[in-house]
Amino acid sequence: MADSQLLTDVRALVGREYGRVYAWDEVNAPMIRQWCEIMGVDNPLYTDPAFAANSPQDGLVAPASMLQVWCMEGFHANNYPPGSTAENPYEVLKLIESYGYASVVAVNSELTFNRNLRPGEKLYYTTRLDSVGDEKTTGLGTGFFVTLVMSYFVEHKSGDEAVGELLFRVFKFRPATRHGVEAAPAKVEAAPVVKRPKPGISDDTRFFWDGCDAGKLLIQRCTQCQTLRHPPAPVCIDCHSFDWDTVEASGRASLYSFVIMHYPEVAPFDHPNPIGLIELEEGVRLVAGLVGIEREALSIGQPLQLEFQTFDGELTLPMFRPAAE
């Protein structure tokens, strides 16, 4: 049963509106182009002024799903533009945590768009604590579902215009405990062996994993227009044909981008765990583990070479290491 004082304090915060957080920059073409490039979006409505001018939009617009991007703080945490609120819209989470609900997990995020944004528009958002549910017990533990709503506006001299909304929900909880641990025998058992999770294999992807087992990196190819595609899909992304075969990749590639996973530390992976976005010589990209190199030696564009590694005697994965000079 939740503490009555906690419930009183939490309920008092529900409905509270927090101040504005401003965007550093106006909606602009360079950021739109970079976002589209990173996300693999090639819609000319976002990047081609001539095409956009002759479209129903009468000019360039920003991808709708960039709504949240414009007001992000940047590389450094909480580095918001001058004039932005110093209030903490997540204070309710700190309050709940002070009563022993120390864990949190994101539940869902929903974006709503009123219209497309255009270059030159300046945004800000405000946050409202929409709701805190009753105490619930789930498989993770016992706690509260907390829902925040961020409302986005474009500034106008004649009055600001609501252009979208982000609903963000988390579960703030006290982790479930295993009953009877104290009464268990003192016998020390060996820790279970944790195996690498196996991929979900469907009729669309089976060829890829069969190729890995055979030491071949197979890429799907449309037999009508010869377009290569990865991840595998049932329909060609260019001509929409259902007909396809495969080609074996050469194994030569370059490092398009990468991340280093530090936390959470999940067995049986090594940590830090370098993961690369690999651009194959054939032109398609895939995500794969990086081996044989330290973090400090990684650089965008460096040549890589494919190798296969088998884990737990049953799972063969394509990995990449720096190419021999």
* Residue 39 maps to a domain: no
pLDDT-derived band at 199 (thresholds 50, 70, 90) equals: confident
**318 shares a domain with 253:** yes
**Region 187-208: what's the mean pLDDT?**
81
| Gap between the Cα atoms of 325 and 296, Å rounded | 18
Q: For 260-299, how does the pLDDT look when each residue is reduced to its tens digit (9 = 90+)?
A: 888 777 778 888 889 999 999 999 999 999 998 888 889 9
Residue 255 CA: distances (Å) to CA of 35, 294, 320: 19, 14, 9
**11 shares a domain with 149:** yes
**258 shares a domain with 159:** no
Q: What is the pLDDT of residue 190?
A: 64
Q: Is the pLDDT of residue 103 over 70?
A: yes
* Residue 224 maps to a domain: no
**300 shares a domain with 212:** yes
Find tokens 């549910």 and name the residue: 133
**210 shares a domain with 139:** no
Q: For 231-259, how does the pLDDT look when each residue is reduced to its tens digit (9 = 90+)?
A: 999 999 899 999 999 999 999 999 999 98
**146 shares a domain with 250:** no
Residues 6+ apart with CB under 8 A from 157: none
**267 shares a domain with 164:** no
| Cis peptide bond prior to 272, omega within 30° of 0 | yes
Domain boundary among 152, 175, 198: 175
**256 shares a domain with 114:** no
pLDDT-derived band at 180 (thresholds 50, 70, 90) equals: very low
Q: State the average pLDDT for the chain.
A: 90
**212 shares a domain with 161:** no
Count up the domains in the chain and report the number: 2
Eight-state DSSP code of residue 36: H
- Mean pLDDT lowest for which of 8-12, 145-149, 177-181? 177-181
- Mean pLDDT lowest for which of 167-181, 241-255, 294-308? 167-181
| Gap between the Cα atoms of 234 and 103, Å rounded | 40
CATH number, domain at 291?
A: 2.40.50
* Residue 194 maps to a domain: no
Answering whether pTM is above 0.75, one says no
Instruction: Quote the radius of gyration of the chain (alpha carbons, Å).
Output: 25
**265 shares a domain with 157:** no
Residue 30 CA: distances (Å) to CA of 55, 161, 177, 229: 20, 24, 50, 27
**171 shares a domain with 88:** yes
* Residue 165 maps to a domain: yes
Q: For 206-216, how does the pLDDT look when each residue is reduced to its tens digit (9 = 90+)?
A: 999 999 999 99
Q: What is the pLDDT of residue 176?
A: 82
| Gap between the Cα atoms of 269 and 263, Å rounded | 11
Nearest to 2 by CA among 16, 10, 15: 10
* Residue 128 maps to a domain: yes
Q: Which domain holds residue 15?
A: 4-27+62-175
**211 shares a domain with 132:** no
**Region 307-322: what's the mean pLDDT?**
92
CATH number, domain at 127?
A: 3.10.129.10
Residues 6+ apart with CB under 8 A from 71: 21, 22, 23, 123, 124, 125, 152
Q: What is the pLDDT of residue 191?
A: 61
* Residue 184 maps to a domain: no
Q: What is the pLDDT of residue 106?
A: 87
* Residue 192 maps to a domain: no
* Residue 42 maps to a domain: no
